[in-house]
A and B are shown apart, each in its own frame.
Chain A
Amino acid sequence: MYKIRFLQRVAGLLLLAISTSPVFAAFPEHDIKIIIPFSPGGGFDSYIRALTPILEKYLGGNINVLPINTPGAGGRRGALETFKAKPDGYTIGVFNMPGVLIPQLTEDSVGYDLEKITWLATLGNDPYAFVVNKDSELKTFAQVIASKQPVLFGATGPSSTSYVATKIMNETLGIPYEMVTGYTGSSEYTMGVMRGDVNAALVSMSTARPYIKSGDVKALAMIGVKSTDPAIADADSLGKPDLGKLNVVRMIGAPPGLPDDIKAIYEKAFQSAMADPEFTKWLESTGNDSAPADGKTTSATVAGLITFYKNFMSILKE
C-alpha cells in the first residue's frame, strides 16, 4: 500500500516535470505566429515582415516567425485573436494604438482588455503631420488657428484614429473645423488634400513624408514629435505639450498570463532585432522611424494613453 502511494507520488512528480518542462527547455521550440491586424501590403504589414527574419535570428532555436494577417473590424479582430490565444509564447500580436484602444473605451464589449495584455515591446511612434495643399492660402499654422472660416478636414470614419486625433487637436486649439469622413485610409485623405477635396488633414508621418518631400503637400505643424524646422509648429511651441500624446504607436503584445521567462526572452530579442544594423538600414532607406522600448515602458505607455483618451470621452463617443 505504502509502496503504491510512493509510486503515485513519483509518477505525479514525473508528470509535473514533463508538463512544466517546456519552460525549462529552450524557448522557442517551434514556429511562432505573429498576428498582424491588417491586410498584407500596408505600412504596418511591411514593417513587421521586414522585422521578422531578424527577430528569428535573435530568438534562436532555428524556428520561423510567421506573419499572419487577420484584417477586420479596424484592427479589433487581430487584437481579439491575440488576447484569446494560449499564453504559451507561440502567438504574439501587433497592436495599433490608439486604434484598438478607442473601441475599448467607448464600447460595451470588445472582448479584449489592453491593460491585461502582456506587453513585450514598442516598435515605434508615428507622429502626425498637419498638411495642406501645396497651393493653399494657409501658409502658417498661426493662420490656421486664426481662421474665421471653418477648415475642412479629411479623415476616415468617426471613431477612427485620424478622426479622433483631428477633433482633439482642433478642440484643444480652438480651430474652427468641419470634417469630411469616409476616406478609406491615410493615403486616400492625403490624396484628398492634393486634389483639393479638403483644406487640410492630420496624416501620420510615415504616410506623409514622401509627399512632403516631393512638394505635393506642405506640412505646417508636427504633432507627437519635436519639430526641427522653426517654420513648422509643434505641440510644445503651441503651448499644449499634452497634444504630443496624439500619435500612432505600434506595439507588440502577447496574451495575458505569459510566463515571465518567455517574456524576458522576447523583450531581449525585440530590443536586439530593432538595434540590428540590417534593420536600422532598412528603416532608414524606407523612411520609417523606430523608438524601441521594453515591455515595462510599453505597459506604462498604454496606461498613460488610456488616461489621456478618457479626458476626451465626449469626442470619442460620437
Chain B
Amino acid sequence: MNWTGILSDGVRAGLGINAAIYALAAVGLNVQFGYAGLWNFGQAGFLLVGGYGTAIAVSSWGLWLPWAVLVGIAASILLGLLLGVPTLRLRGDYLAIVTIAAAEILRIVVNSTKVQSVTGGPQGIGGFANWFFDHNPIARGRYGFGTITYDQRQLWVTLVTWVLVALASVLVALLVHSPWGRVVRAIREDEDAVRSLGKNVYSYKMQALLLGGAIGGVAGIMLVFDQQFIQPDLFQSAITFYAFAALILGGTARILGPILGAIAFWFLVEGADSFLGNAVDHNFLGVGHLVDPTQIGTFRFVLVGLVIMLLVIFRPQGFLGSRQEVMLGEQ
C-alpha cells in the first residue's frame, strides 16, 4: 500500500481546482441555505447557466471574454428571478422541488438537438476561454511541494478560483454582519415574526437567492474555464449534492464553513478513491476479490451518500457550525 501516494492524492485534490469550484458553489448555497434557510436543490442549474451564458456569449456573439463572464453572471441572476418569483412565497419544500426540476430541465434543453446550433448539444462548446489562458502570468513549469505539483495552467486557474472564493467569502461576511444579514437570519428562524416587524420577507429572500445564485454562476464559469469546454453532462444534479455535502461538512451559516468543507470533502473523496485503487491493486485486506477495479469511481457516490446521512443525523453542525444556528437540527 502506497500510503504517501494516497495522502498526497487527497491533499492535491483538497487544494485543487475542484475543491475551489465546490467551495465557491457552497459559499453560494451557504447564503441561500445557511443564512436565509432557502432550499436550493438546483445549484447545478445556476452553474450551468453561468457557464453556458459565458460560453455562448463568446462562441455565438463573439464577445470579449470579460464581458461574456458578466453575461454568464447576469444569466444566473435571471434564473434566480425566474425561480424565485413563483416559489419564494410557498413553503420551503416547494422551492426544493422546483429548483431541482429547473436544473434538470436546463440540462435536458441544452442537450437537445433543437438548440444544437447554439449550445452544441451533447458535443458542447470548446475553446471559448483562450483569453483567460493567454493572460496567464505564470511561467511554464511545475509548481508545488513534494509530490503535490501543478503545472502553470492548473495553477493559474486554481489560484484565480481560490481568490474568487476569498472575495465571495469577504462579501458574504460583510453582508451577514450588516443589518441585512440579521434580517435574513431572522427570516430563517421565524418568517412570520420578521413579517410582523414590517420587513418585506419576500424581497429579502429573493436577494439571498440571487446573491447565492450569482456566486454559483461564477463557480460554473470557473468550472468550464478549467475544462476549456462545456457540455451538459458537466452539470448533473450530483454537483448540487456534492456542494451540500461540502457545506454541511464544514458547517452551515459560518463564513469559513463552505471553504473548509470543500477542502475536507475533496480530500476525503479523492483520498478514498486512491485508497480503494491501491487496496485493489495490492489486494489489501482481501479487497481485490470484492471490488471490481472499474467500479472504484462508483464507490465515491456510495461514500458521499453515507457521509451526508451520517453528518445530518449525528453532527448537523459540521466542523464549525453552532447547533443553535443550524436548520437541520431539532425543530
| A pairs with B | no
Binding site for A on B (CB under 8 A): none
Binding site for B on A (CB under 8 A): none
